[in-house]
Amino acid sequence: MVRIDLNCDLGESFGAYTIGQDEEMMKYVTSVNIACGFHAGDPLVMMRTVEKALEHDLRIGAHPGLPDLQGFGRRNIHITPQEAYALVQYQVGALQAMVIAQGGKLTHVKPHGALYNMAAKDRDLANSIAKSVFDIDKSLVLFGLSGSQLTDAGSEAGLPVAHEVFADRSYQADGTLTPRSLTGAVLHDVDKVEEQVLRMVEHQEVNTITGEVIFIQADTICLHGDNIEGVSLAKRLREKLG
């Protein structure tokens, strides 16, 4: 059995609207990335999600996104490096305060959605995010797409980094994720997801959506709680990966 971190984006409900299967997912993952109110979540949701994560003894990370509630942070919005620095620090600081208030410690930061994907390719944006995190706490682990500009920027800034791979997403030939607007971007077949994950972890490679085989470094595996098969996938992978 191979041991590896399983992470999940949680705390994405808002007001009266419930999104995801947070408490069920927490039974099987080892790290959680909690939305900070810009793309999803609100102060009460954040506080309650931190509370539940601490009850499950999970590593808690901040999941800052673009200011786009309606688009769930998945729409590209042009921001300057200075804006990126500020919005990441604002969101991480808010969640960090809630974690500290409940006796916990923030362990990592993972940008969300479009911000994450933009920073995977844009070095100036990636540098701003890395500097923002470093200036808060240089011990925070920066999660980024495996082999991306964001992980490179984090390492150069002096942060510990985790190269992230995705269990339930397909890949492009350049190592980026297939856009959600395209057919086949999200994987729902539990057997295929398990096969992809084991190949990434054991052989450091993945098949792209167009058939190529590319190298990939897997330090942490992301599962999505809003995937209809999310809990089944998490349970299956926890059994296989410890």
127 phi and psi angles, rounded to 5 deg: -60, -40
Confirm whether 108 is domain-assigned: yes
Q: Helix/strand/coil (H, E, C) string of 23-63?
A: HHHCCCCCEEEEECCCCCCCHHHHHHHHHHHHHCCCEEEEE
Along the 242 residues of the chain, how does pLDDT read in single tens digits?
457 899 999 999 999 999 989 999 999 999 999 999 999 999 999 999 999 999 999 999 999 999 999 999 999 999 999 999 999 999 999 999 999 999 999 999 999 999 999 999 999 999 999 999 999 999 999 999 999 999 999 999 999 999 999 998 999 999 999 998 899 998 888 888 899 999 999 999 999 999 999 999 999 999 887 667 778 888 988 888 86
- What is the total residue count of the chain? 242
Confirm whether 179 is domain-assigned: no
pLDDT at position 227 is 66
Residue 139 parent element (H or E): none
For tokens 């792209």, what's the residue? 208
Q: How far, in whole angstroms, is CA 151 from its chain's centroid?
A: 13
* Contact (CB, 8 A) for 54 and 27: no
The CA distance from 206 to 195, in Å, is: 10
Confirm whether 175 is domain-assigned: no
* Contact (CB, 8 A) for 20 and 225: yes
Residues whose CB is less than 8 angstroms from the CB of residue 181 and which lie 6 or more positions away in sequence, other chains included: none
Range of the domain at 89: 5-168+217-228
Confirm whether 242 is domain-assigned: no
Return the axis-axis angle of helices 149-157 and 113-121, rounded to nearest 10°. 80
Confirm whether 90 is domain-assigned: yes
The CA distance from 154 to 162, in Å, is: 9
Confirm whether 239 is domain-assigned: no
Confirm whether 188 is domain-assigned: no
Q: How many domains does the chain have?
A: 1
Confirm whether 174 is domain-assigned: no
pLDDT at position 190 is 86
CATH code, domain with 65: 3.20.20.370
Closest C-alpha among 33, 11, 14, 36 to residue 23 = 11
pLDDT at position 226 is 67
